[in-house]
Amino acid sequence: MPKINDTMYTLYDFDLPHQYKNPLSQFASYPTAIKKRVYELPQYKDFIALVEHKNWKRKILSALLSAAVLATVAYFSGKTALKRHFFMYWC
């Protein structure tokens, strides 16, 4: 029979964010001074390139999804002035 402490540890283990399990996974969120020091360490060069590449993907994807959601909300709320301005300037 498992002890209560083991069960509590298991419950808390699932609730921890990924940055606590692997602190370098959130490298882009660190302050600038810490980023500069990590850039100087040779063992993290490949990892830094991978994290930065993933961050650009996330930012572009989130910008596109946000624009799509906002456009959908605007369309269903009955805003048609955007269509007139779009065709007036671009067509």
Q: What is the H or E stretch that residue 74 is in?
A: helix 45-76
Q: Which two tokens stand for residue 54?
A: 């993933």
Q: Which residues contact 82 (CB under 8 A, 6 or more apart)?
A: 74
Total-model pTM = 0.47
Give residue-wise pLDDT tens across range 5-54: 555 555 555 666 665 666 666 767 778 888 888 888 888 888 887 777 77
Burial class (CB within 10 angstroms; exposed 0-12, middle 13-18, buried 19+) of 65: exposed
Render pLDDT for 27-39 as a digit per residue (tens, 0 to 9). 677 788 888 888 8
Q: Are 24 and 49 in contact (CB under 8 A)?
A: no
What are the DSSP E strand ranges found in 1-91? none
